[in-house]
């Protein structure tokens, strides 16, 4: 298959239009109109005689995941920050953070003046390696955070055992895993808390947004205080035009509230989620088989996974292909054939240019702290290898039809066969 690559002026293999993201429905528009007409655009606005959209979404998402409680938040980063603080993490405490993740996994820990301890990952899933966690624990470890990455679910059975044996809370970062299940249960329900992001690219999105789920009522109460400047929703409905948030003076918080517009969108989007997940799973299963037959390695997941959620479709490239062309060029060539962004995976956090604690004066808390949070002090060979060999394709690709999925595999085959052109 010696053909000019589209990146270099050849004809793109795929000419079709791909599904767009985010997607909305008539229900989404009705909900937004309802918020506009309600004259209450935030939970900190005056009560209008009916439950807020934020409260409705919290109940709906708790029911969807099977969690006892859900506290919505403004972003995924805010959700993780709230969960860490609610679990008692504070200044100079250590928090286990997986070596491959979006930068917020580490920066949220820094944001509460705690120390992110970067820990290596499983080479096949890219998720936190339980064996490495045990080696990294210290008397100062106050929490373990685990990220379900791409389309993989981490090894929760072992991580839960480690956390339980040591009396350390496990916080699941499910920003990329809405609807994924392990041992038949929704991710986010295994640890002390599960955090979610509803940012633009996420599987459940309102542009920006987040949530924390938990089965612990006292933890949920702390989360509620942390997200609304130390206020919580009143136990009984107030009079019209009165505030529904009441000041308890139990715990000082911050403003991480989700707006009524975002909450209304999320309730509508939640109705679409399972159907979209099912389409992605079917297409991903088909693409897995096609790519394996061509010598590529789709991202694996832990043995206990019972349902995957494909935030990105992650593929490890074979060594001989990586020897013939740089991975960034291979991703660009694949993207040009498909008309889709095909990006390299996040750089490991010890080498990630977005993770630079020394660039923020607020983290200048003395020499010992500065040395502890210096990312290059951590050796993460598996994380570095995973990042250096994998490409991530957007989940909207998996909402296309079966013929389009075959074209994705054909594009991989074309780029691999003509990789020599990328070095000319």
Q: What is the DSSP letter of 74?
A: S
Q: Answer yes or no: pTM beyond 0.85.
A: yes
Per-residue pLDDT of the chain (424 residues; tens, 9 = 90+): 678 999 999 999 998 899 999 999 999 999 999 999 999 999 999 999 999 999 999 999 999 999 999 999 999 999 999 999 999 999 999 999 999 999 999 999 999 999 999 999 999 999 999 999 999 999 999 999 999 999 999 999 999 999 999 999 999 999 999 999 999 999 999 999 999 999 999 999 999 999 999 999 999 999 999 999 999 999 999 999 999 999 999 999 999 999 999 999 999 999 999 999 999 999 999 999 999 999 999 999 999 999 999 999 999 999 999 999 999 999 999 999 999 999 999 999 999 999 999 999 999 999 999 999 999 999 999 999 999 999 999 999 999 999 999 999 999 999 999 999 998 6
Cis ω on the peptide bond leading into residue 32 (within 30° of 0)? no
Cis ω on the peptide bond leading into residue 159 (within 30° of 0)? no
**Residue 335, CB half-sphere, CA atoms under 13 Å: how many?**
15
Residues near 271 by beta carbon (within 8 Å), at least 6 away in sequence: 25, 27
Q: Which CATH topology does 6-19+273-347+384-423 take?
A: 3.90.1150
What residue spans define the domains of the chain? 6-19+273-347+384-423, 26-270
pLDDT of residue 1: 64
Q: How far apart are CA 66 and CA 195, in angstroms?
A: 14
Size of the chain in residues: 424
pLDDT of residue 15: 85
Instruction: Give the class (CATH, top level) of 26-270.
Output: alpha beta
Sheet of 297-298: strand order equals 297-298, 312-316, 390-394, 343-344
DSSP, collapsed to helix, strand or coil, labels residue 227 as helix
């Amino acid at each position: 298959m010696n053909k000019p690559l589209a990146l270099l002026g050849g004809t793109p293999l795929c000419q079709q239009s791909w599904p767009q993201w985010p997607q909305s429905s008539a229900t989404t528009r009705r909900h937004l109109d309802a918020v506009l007409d309600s004259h209450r655009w935030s939970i900190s606005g005056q009560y209008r005689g009916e439950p807020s959209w934020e409260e409705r979404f919290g109940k709906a998402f708790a029911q969807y995941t099977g969690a006892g409680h859900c506290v919505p938040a403004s972003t995924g980063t805010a959700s993780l920050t709230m969960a860490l603080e609610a679990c008692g993490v504070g200044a100079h405490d250590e928090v286990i953070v997986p070596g491959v993740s979006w930068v917020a996994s580490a920066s949220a820990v820094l944001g509460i003046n705690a120390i992110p301890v970067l820990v290596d990952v499983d080479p096949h899933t890219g998720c936190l390696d339980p064996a490495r966690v045990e080696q990294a624990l210290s008397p100062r470890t106050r929490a373990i955070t685990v990220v379900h990455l791409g389309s993989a679910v981490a090894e929760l059975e072992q991580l839960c055992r480690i956390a339980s044996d040591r009396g350390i809370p496990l916080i699941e970062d499910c920003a990329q895993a809405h609807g994924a299940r392990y041992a038949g249960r929704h991710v986010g329900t295994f640890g002390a808390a599960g955090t979610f992001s509803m940012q633009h690219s996420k599987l459940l999105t309102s542009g920006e947004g987040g949530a924390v789920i938990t089965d612990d009522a006292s933890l949920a109460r702390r989360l509620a205080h942390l997200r609304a400047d130390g206020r919580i929703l009143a136990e009984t409905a107030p009079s019209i035009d009165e505030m529904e948030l009441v000041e308890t003076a139990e715990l000082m918080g911050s403003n991480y509230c989700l707006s009524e517009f975002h909450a209304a969108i999320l309730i509508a989007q939640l109705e679409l989620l399972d159907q979209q997940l099912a389409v992605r799973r079917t297409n991903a299963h088909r693409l897995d088989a096609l790519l394996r037959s061509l010598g590529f390695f789709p991202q694996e997941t832990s043995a206990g996974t019972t349902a995957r959620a494909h935030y990105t479709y992650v593929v490890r490239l074979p060594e001989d292909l990586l020897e013939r062309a740089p991975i960034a060029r291979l991703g660009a060539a694949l993207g040009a054939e498909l008309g889709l962004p095909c990006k390299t995976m996040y750089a490991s956090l010890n080498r990630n240019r977005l993770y630079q604690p020394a660039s923020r004066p607020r983290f200048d808390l003395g020499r010992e702290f500065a040395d502890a949070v210096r990312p290059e002090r951590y050796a993460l060979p598996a994380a570095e290898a995973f990042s250096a060999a994998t490409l991530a394709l957007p989940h909207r690709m998996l909402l296309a039809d079966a013929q389009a999925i075959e074209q994705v595999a054909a594009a991989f085959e074309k780029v691999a066969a003509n990789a020599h052109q990328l070095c000319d």
